[in-house]
Chain A
Amino acid sequence: MSVPTISRAPERVAAPPELPDLLPPIRIRRGLIGFLRRYPTIAVGGALLLLLILIAVFAPLLWTVDPTALSPARRTRPPSAQFWFGTDMLGRDIYSRVIYGARISLTVGFCVAILASVVGLVIGLASGFVRWADGLIMRMMDGLMSIPPILLAVALMALTRASVGNVVMAITMAEIPRVSRLVRGVVLSLREQLYVEAAVAAGTRTPMIILRHILPNTLAPMTVQATYICASAMIVEAILSFIGAGTPPTTPSWGNIMAEGRALWQVKPFIVFFPAAFLSITVLAVNLLGDGLRDALDPRLTKRP
């Protein structure tokens, strides 16, 4: 049957009136700009995050001084032209400490996100493919997930000396179970797919299956999860430093600066305010990025009009 081609209405039928479009025509922009316009949260979050990364990387060039140089003679000065964010109780320049502190927080955030993702991926794959290990591994992950993350990190920090590396390790351990669950879920659902069964039947070895079929499908949810882990890790690091269980007091991190300034928040709120603002903005940026990525990468979620 051929497709009818009617270019004009037959003469005996009244011509339909020309009605204006009810909705403006939707222009779908291609390329990066189009992508960013459709997902403004990715644009805003990503831009902020990029800015903060640049600040952290180029810290020595941003008119900072040695963040550990103390000079008690000029302690607790309010923000001024010389000390943009003021000085703390030992006379150290808060602006420099906050800028260098960005390095610690971002490092912890990214390292935890990457490490937890990698380890969680391995465990999730193992659990998904090796059936007899699945029950055992998932029970263990359930057990680990039942310990509230901050307490787990606190307990681990109590056993070791304070250092950035140990903080990363401690927080990573708390975040691994969620990633492994996620990966396992993907593996289990994909294992049933016809094309994977076909690949297995064709004799493809497991590593190849993982590489070509499983991994690409885990990338999207794992990326979204990784951003949330990054945000969570930064907050946990700040909390740990605040209660004295995180990075050593000699290294400036946002949590440390806030912990030291907390005694004076009533009279010199700027000591707590600046690192708090930076931390909040950074976490906000990462959360926005995560939200945007989730919207963009998850096909099941209905788009907002």
Chain B
Amino acid sequence: MDRRTFLKTAAGAAVTGSLSTPALSAGAATRALRFVPQANLANFDPIWGTQYVVRNAAALVWDTLYGVDATLNPQRQMVEAEEQSEDGLIWTFRLRPELRFHDGEPVLAKDVVASLTRWSARDPMGLMIKALQNELTTVDDRTFRWVLKKPYPKLLFALGKNNSPCTFVMPERIATTDPFKQISEYVGSGPMRFARNEWVPGAKAVFEKFADYVPRQEPASWLAGGKQMLVDRIEWIVMPDPATAAAALQNGEIDWWENPITDLVPVLRQNRNIEVDIADPLGNIGSFRMNHLFPPFNDVRARRAILMAMSQEDYMRALVGDEGALWRPLPGYFTPGTPLYNEEGGEILKGPRDLEAAKRLLGESGYSGAPVTCLVAQDQPITKAFGDVTADLLKRLGMNVDFKAIDWGTVGARRAQKSPPGQGGWQMFHTWHAGADCINPAPYTALRANGNAAWFGWPDSPQLEAEIASWFVAKSLAEEQAAMRRINKAALDFVVYAPTGFFLLYQAWRKNVSGIVKGPLPFFWGVAKSA
């Protein structure tokens, strides 16, 4: 063929080859709720990975036995009725009849038993119950029984708390996976199905309404009540760049942003189509989490030196900027504004910072100048801001900082390593805890100091554990408050972790989205989107 013919046919092919696909109706897009989560959904096992983003997604896909309501009281969810024996040792539970998994199978007691076994291997309250456990068995297809050696009055709260890990009910064959390995199938029992074939890790996760889910009759309140889904499809769109998310929200390309950064909130507020409000009045507590297994933070003096030198105002301002209403200093570990809050033992965090004394204390602890591995997630605004302040703080203290700028998913995986630093281990990382999880020691996983079974960092303080135990058996409010004061002081003296302050976060959504409530996690039931 000669040149001219070649060019002509090539041009012809280019033109006719493309523009023939019809445009789908725009209606499909409006029924989908497009949500920007706080971080990437890298893995999806809510028992293995306790990160909030995993728990938030799991709350859509799996149902729990009980669920706390807005007053933090556990209410029945999958359970229809429960019975406690006179001596409090035998708990019998009956499940609701119409519960189904997403593969069509009914939810049976054996699935619940397997799920609870897996849950109690990782959850601190679950571990306490397991230690008291005589047996956990099925009675029939819809009934199961938990027999304890000693009473555990907070059992229902343990089964319904929103703190990770929650008692998500999975099919037995999945729930028998080793609790220290990830599950590979995501068959849920909750109101939304996980569309695995549309999952693009790092970019998108899609949930579709499960038609056979039967919600309860009561109105929804946090994790309790009827989880009525008013949208057919929820798309989680991962946007690590806050500027892009802000622009997308302004343009109507997304509907709900979980955690807008404070600097961009004024711009969002100016937009007539956007609502911005505090996400959760119970706020959050920032955490400088140390590894108690290896130097330097295995010595309490090094940990106290950090408390002495750190400026909570620096951490908080780096995160929330100039709005004073969004943060307050926290000389303790519990949520301000709650009845059990106290500041006992918090003098070390108050007043002007004494860098010289801190350096001396650090020297006394025998710090040798070895590198301190800091895991700082860059794609999560909270930890990124904290990480920068910490790098500066440790440098001023004369420490040799090994700054690992990684992503939140990797932090989640790497913090589980107990190996020495330099062999895949770590010495500190940043995270935060929802205020709802820090009201008292019951859901407060991060406060526990029971050594190898404790949360990452593995603090070990029998004295602190004894004080916590004393709260669990307290019989009156006065006793509880006394116990809480002792706990606060013991925790600060031992420095289970260094609190960086108390802060509030915003959430933002477009005005055509209704039903969004304040709470420790984004609740999707009851949320509707009009055109």
Contacts and interface: CB of A to CB of B under 8 A. Distances in A.
The number of chain B residues touching the other chain, given as a range, is 20 to 34
B168 to A, nearest CB: 33
B263 A268 contact: yes
Contact of B381 (A76, A244, A263, A266): A263
A272 to B, nearest CB: 10
Nearest to B379: A244
A263 B260 CA distance: 11
A72 B389 contact: yes
B357 interface: no
A264 B263 contact: yes
A191 interface: no
B195 interface: no
Contacts of A263: 241-243, 261, 263-264, 381
Nearest to B245: A263
B389 A266 contact: no
A70 B388 contact: yes
Contact of B266 (A68, A73, A267): A267
A75 interface: yes
B381 A90 contact: no
A90 B241 contact: no
Contacts of A265: 243
A208 to B, nearest CB: 51
Contacts of A262: 241, 243
A264 B264 CA distance: 7
B378 interface: yes
A250 B242 contact: no
Interface in A120-138: none
A244 B264 contact: no
Nearest to B391: A250
Interface stretch (B9-17, B229-237, B314-322): B314-322
A266 B267 contact: yes
Interface string B389-402: 10110000000000
Given A263-B241, A263-B242, A72 B318 contact: yes
A171 interface: no
Interface string B345-378: 0000000000000000000000000000000001
A266 B405 contact: no
A255 B315 CA distance: 24
B314 A264 contact: no
Given A72-B317, A266-B247, A89 B385 contact: yes
Interface residues of A, number: 21
Contacts of B267: 266-267
Binding site secondary structure of chain A:
loop
Interface string A42-69: 0000000000000000000000000010
B321 A76 contact: yes
Contacts of B388: 70, 90, 249
A145 B261 CA distance: 42
A254 to B, nearest CB: 18
Contact of B314 (A72, A244, A248, A250): A72
A268 B246 CA distance: 14
B208 interface: no
A72 B391 CA distance: 13
B389 A90 contact: yes
B197 to A, nearest CB: 29
Interface string B229-273: 000000000000111001100000000000001011011000000
A105 B33 CA distance: 44
B241 A73 contact: no
A72 B324 CA distance: 13
A266 B318 contact: no
A261 to B, nearest CB: 9
A73 B317 contact: yes
A201 to B, nearest CB: 48
Contact of B263 (A90, A249, A267): A267
Interface in B309-331: 313-318, 321-322
B243 A264 contact: yes
B157 interface: no
B403 interface: yes
A265 B405 CA distance: 22
Nearest to B321: A75
A244 B405 contact: yes
A250 B264 contact: no
Contacts of A250: 391, 403
B399 to A, nearest CB: 13
Nearest to B240: A263
A161 B246 CA distance: 32
Given A262-B243, A263-B381, A267-B266, A70 B392 contact: yes
B318 A249 contact: no
Interface string B280-322: 0000000000000000000000000000000001111110011
A248 B403 CA distance: 9
Contacts of B241: 262-263
A266 B243 contact: yes
A67 to B, nearest CB: 12
B243 A89 contact: no
Interface string A76-116: 10000000000001100000000000000000000000000
Given A72-B317, A76-B321, A263-B241, A89 B389 contact: no
A218 to B, nearest CB: 39
A183 B405 CA distance: 40
A70 B394 CA distance: 13
Nearest to A70: B392
Contacts of A90: 318, 385, 388-389, 392
A72 B243 contact: no
A89 B318 contact: yes
Contacts of B242: 263
A249 B403 contact: yes
A266 B246 contact: yes
Given A264-B264, A266-B264, A267-B267, A72 B313 contact: yes
A173 B137 CA distance: 64
Nearest to B314: A72
A73 B318 CA distance: 8
Contacts of A267: 263-264, 266-267
Given A70-B392, A90-B389, A76 B263 contact: yes
A268 B263 CA distance: 9
A244 B384 CA distance: 13
A162 B263 CA distance: 29
B261 to A, nearest CB: 6
Contacts of B381: 263
Given A248-B403, A266-B247, A75 B389 contact: no
A249 B261 CA distance: 20
Contacts of B263: 76, 89, 263-264, 267-268
Contacts of B246: 266
A252 to B, nearest CB: 12
Most buried by B among A71, A89, A248: A89
The 5 closest A-B pairs by CB, nearest first: A72-B317, A72-B318, A263-B242, A72-B314, A70-B392
14 contacts: A72-B318, A73-B314, A73-B317, A90-B385, A162-B405, A244-B405, A249-B405, A263-B381, A265-B243, A266-B267, A267-B264, A267-B266, A267-B267, A268-B263
Given A70-B314, A72-B318, A266-B264, 5 more contacts: A72-B316, A248-B403, A248-B405, A249-B378, A263-B242
